Homo-oligomer: A and B are copies of this chain.
């Protein structure tokens, strides 16, 4: 059987099982008695990962942002980034600009590009590896969710998807520049500060980033924690019209926001840590969306299952 027949999730699961790795945003290693080193790597390709409208600077920025988002998701502080590039015979100004964008994002996150490798290749390929450190008693993992915890997100899930939908309508260059959704899609800001403050708050029980889309991320958390989620449609932020929709908020990937669970009694502490939206709560089982007047004694409300789908790479469906 070929790996495309198997599907990416199945391949990743095989590899993870074979190597006995945990399914986290970052690998976790002992650094000292009190600190962990976390490390993550992400690979990007020109055709599958970057829309044609994206500038070289934005390609660099996005590679760095996507990689550093995994560091943010552990509540860790970035400690450097390595970059490998497979380069086709493009203008050197393109590479310069890409490096500038990468460097700008990495600097914004308080760290630096510390090394890398180059190789020649037909298609532009970028592989970023980010390192971080985090006190052992503050690290936030995917595991740790308890029934009754509140489910929270930073930002608005589906914004990158709305940006992609907007591009699909054939925007002018000016419209592209003016679109908030396209900006979120092309220049996502890793939630490093939010992640650090949430970790420090002690209010968060589990965290990950939502780069695979909200629905898939919720299903992953449900699976790891043996729990369920009840998400409320009326509080779930949805990207603005005309491109935004509840469907995008649930199923579009490419955002680099934080998805986390908070002890109900500690919500105020989490709210002090960052701007967040409570989108639902942790239940014993099932991943459901509640619309309208649902809930205890509510009338006219409906509850439907949130499907286990999403995509790791936004562009794959193109």
Residues of chain A whose beta carbon lies under 8 Å from any beta carbon of chain B: 1-4, 6, 8, 11-12, 14-15, 18-19, 21, 24, 26-29, 31-32, 37, 39-45, 48-49, 79-80, 82-87, 89-92, 95-96, 99-100, 103, 112-123, 125, 127, 129, 131, 313, 316
Task: Identify the interface centre among A32, A43, A89, A103: most chain B CB within 10 Å of its CB.
Answer: A43
Q: A27: shortest Cβ distance to chain B, in Å?
A: 3
- Whether A41 and B119, one on each chain, are in contact in the complex, defined by CB atoms closer than 8 angstroms, is no
Question: Beyond A32-B32, A41-B83: 20 further Cβ-contacts under 8 Å?
Answer: A2-B91, A4-B89, A11-B118, A12-B118, A15-B95, A15-B118, A19-B112, A37-B37, A39-B115, A39-B131, A40-B117, A41-B129, A43-B118, A43-B121, A45-B119, A45-B121, A45-B125, A49-B119, A119-B313, A127-B127
A29 partner residues in chain B, CB cutoff 8 A: 79-80, 114, 131
The residue on B at minimum CB distance from A12 is B118
A42 partner residues in chain B, CB cutoff 8 A: 84, 117
The residue on B at minimum CB distance from A10 is B92
A85 partner residues in chain B, CB cutoff 8 A: 43
- Whether B90 and A3, one on each chain, are in contact in the complex, defined by CB atoms closer than 8 angstroms, is yes
Q: A264: shortest Cβ distance to chain B, in Å?
A: 32
A96–B16 alpha-carbon span in the complex (Å): 11
A89 partner residues in chain B, CB cutoff 8 A: 2-4
- Whether A18 and B99, one on each chain, are in contact in the complex, defined by CB atoms closer than 8 angstroms, is yes
Q: A69: shortest Cβ distance to chain B, in Å?
A: 13
A119 partner residues in chain B, CB cutoff 8 A: 43-45, 48-49, 313
Q: A218: shortest Cβ distance to chain B, in Å?
A: 21
Q: A38: shortest Cβ distance to chain B, in Å?
A: 9
A40 partner residues in chain B, CB cutoff 8 A: 82, 115, 117
A–B complex contacts, Cβ < 8 Å, 9 sampled: A3-B89, A4-B89, A18-B96, A39-B131, A41-B127, A45-B121, A48-B120, A122-B123, A129-B129
